[in-house]
Amino acid sequence: MCLIPPVTERTPYRARVHAPGEVLDVLPYDFESPELITGADRDRLDAALEAWGRQVGMQITATTRAVVDVATAPSRIQSFGAFVASAEEPTVWVTAAFGAARALYRVPVAEARYWGARMLGASGEDRAGDRPLTAVEKGLARSAAAEHLAELAPATNALLPEGVVEAFGAEPSPALDRDAQAVVVVIGTLRKGVRRQLAVALDVDVVLERLGAVAPAQDRAEVTSRVSGHLALAPVEVALRFAPTRVGPETVLDLAPGDLIPLAHAADVPLVITLDGQPVLRAAVGGNGERLACVVVESNGGPS
């Protein structure tokens, strides 16, 4: 979305000049993780996500009756596709919708199996190794994941919206745009010496809007007024042009001081006023004190 700024006086740009031999501290820029959120907004977002991570830990502890410690890593920006590709173990993907935007919750299959087992009264010790979730485990894990995502709004004091789960399975929802950028946060869990990682990716446009980093859509009339104001201040080159006259190369090569070139422009035909080379009006030759000028004889609205 391109927003038109208000018309203001121009501020001259001042470039910093580095002294010869000065050592510059240049930081590499990661184009796969652009810095779209910085400063106070980044601190505010990370604090909110950390609060959500603590709430998720308390929910897991309550539903599994086993104490789990959590640690939330600082958020980063990456595409949904890169987020999906970064999974290092069998994973359950929970896709939630925020209107047209999406959130993706990543849960290790082993963790989802543990949730289901504990909620059914079992010990949670899985001796079967890697295996897909049963239908009962899927239902219980989906319910737990939906409760975690439902805490996004209250845990972050409404900074982040509450999503609606639309898909749960071994693959993200086909509606997910894997090229879209997302805010990613990883929550590390520790339970009885077992470490696992949960992670969530939130559509960056939703987060930026909630942070106030994206201005609301402007009214059409306001945009028109601002564009007109910018155009009125934009410098243009005004010229007065005769009708073109064609001559041969010999005529040009033989020109000498005092020679006359008869123009194809008739004396009673107005000249053309051009703006940056584009004809817009017609005018007659005139004067303004000691300066040559032109008298406009036609406007864009018709003859005057």
Task: Tell me the CATH number at 205.
Answer: 3.40.1550.10
Q: Are both 113 and 82 inside the same structural domain?
A: yes
Report yes or no: 229 and 5 within 8 Å, Cβ to Cβ: no
Q: Which domain CATH number covers 281? A: 2.30.330.10
What is the structure's pLDDT at 71? 94
Q: Are both 138 and 198 inside the same structural domain?
A: yes
Q: What is the pLDDT of residues 178-190, one digit of tens each?
A: 999 999 999 999 9
pTM of the model: 0.61
Burial pattern 72-101, b for ≥16 Cβ within 10 A else e, equals bbebbbbbbebbbeeeeeebbbbbbbbeeb
Higher pLDDT, 255 or 59: 59
Q: What is the pLDDT of residues 195-230, one digit of tens each?
A: 999 999 999 988 888 888 555 566 788 878 888 888
Higher pLDDT, 25 or 268: 268
Higher pLDDT, 112 or 25: 112
Q: Are both 156 and 245 inside the same structural domain?
A: no
Mean pLDDT value across residues 123-132 = 75
Residue 10 lies inside a defined structural domain of this protein? no
Q: Are both 204 and 238 inside the same structural domain?
A: no
Using DSSP, state whether 248 is helix, strand or coil: coil
Indicate the length of the chain as a whole number: 304
Q: Are strands 91-98 and 164-169 parallel, antiparallel or unpaired?
A: antiparallel
Q: Are both 156 and 248 inside the same structural domain?
A: no
Q: Are both 151 and 294 inside the same structural domain?
A: no
Is the pLDDT at 245 greater than 90? The verdict is no
pLDDT confidence tier of residue 125, bands split at 50, 70 and 90: confident
Mean pLDDT value across residues 165-177 = 90
> How many distinct structural domains can be found in the chain?
2
How far is Cα 236 from Cα 89, in angstroms, rounded to an integer? 62
What is the structure's pLDDT at 294? 86
Residue 26 lies inside a defined structural domain of this protein? no
Residue 146 lies inside a defined structural domain of this protein? yes
Report yes or no: 118 and 64 within 8 Å, Cβ to Cβ: yes
What's the mean per-residue pLDDT of the chain?
Answer: 84
Is the pLDDT at 27 greater than 80? The verdict is no
How far is Cα 123 from Cα 142, in angstroms, rounded to an integer? 20
Mean pLDDT value across residues 251-255 = 86
Q: Are both 239 and 176 inside the same structural domain?
A: no
What is the structure's pLDDT at 109? 93
Is the pLDDT at 249 greater than 50? The verdict is yes
Percent of the chain surpassing pLDDT 90: 37
List the domain range (segments joined by +) for residue 278: 234-253+263-303
